[in-house]
Amino acid sequence: MGRWQTAYRVCCPKIVTRGPSVSAANSALVPYESRLFVKTALVYLVLTFALGAVLLGMTAAGHPAPYVLGIEHGHLGFVGWLVNLVIGVALWMFPLDRERFPDLGGRYPKAAPLWSYCLLNAGLLMRVFLEPWFAGGTPPGRLWAVLLVLSGVLQVAGIIIVGAILWYRTRGPRRPAPGVR
């Protein structure tokens, strides 16, 4: 039994002893795709704070960083941390739609969130690394310009996929109880 599972057994005995095994019960708590989004968000949170601290230090030392690093810091924070976190929690917590998405207990078609994750995060990383090259004055060339545009397109595609999943899961009850709208 791993360290975390032991800790879980001590902290939350009701949760871990209800299921067939400790690991099965733990993995049932948050689906894999949501954990992927949320843990990625936490990595971005640390990166955002680290870059923020560097920017602050440079300003305090009288050598403010190029403005474009502030923009990348903002994107790491808002897209990397906030958007990934919101998607991870929403895919997990929004009402299930078992008729439309039978594959994974009503959550989503199996591959959809993984596509969204790859498109969104590949696009974000491409932007964060490519954009500073364009802030220096001489444009770095056509190929890089195409890749920068592509970084935006990838992120839009990733968000459309997740938007479509959550659109269908934002719905009223199929068989509402009396008095429920």
The contact set with ligand HEM (CB under 6 A) reads 45, 48-49, 52-53, 55-56, 59, 64-65, 67, 70-71, 73-74, 77-78, 81
> Are 28 and 19 a contacting pair, CB within 8 Å?
yes
CB of 123 to ligand HEM, least distance (A): 18
What does the buried/exposed string (b/e) look like for 7-23 if buried means 16 or more CB atoms within 10 Å of the residue's CB? ebbeeeeeebeeeeebe
Q: Compare residues 13 and 64 and give the one whose CB is closer to ligand HEM.
A: 64
Contacts by 164-169, CB closer than 8 A, 24 or more apart: 164/112, 165/91, 165/101, 165/108, 165/109, 165/112, 165/113, 165/116, 166/90, 166/91, 166/94, 168/97, 168/100, 168/101, 169/94, 169/95, 169/96, 169/97, 169/107
d(Cα 3, Cα 19) in Å, to the nearest integer? 19
- Provide the minimum distance between the beta carbon of 133 and ligand HEM in the complex, in angstroms, as a whole number: 17
Whose Cβ is closer to ligand HEM: residue 11's or residue 60's?
60
Nearer to ligand HEM, 60 or 143 (CB): 60
Q: How far is the CB of 7 from ligand HEM (least distance, A)?
A: 27
Residue 37 to residue 84: CA distance in whole angstroms: 5
Find tokens 């039994």 and name the residue: 1
Q: Which is nearer to ligand HEM, 65 or 147 (CB)?
A: 65
CB 94 → ligand HEM: shortest distance, Å? 23
Name the minimum Å distance from CB 112 to ligand HEM.
27
Closer residue to ligand HEM in complex, CB, 49/133:
49
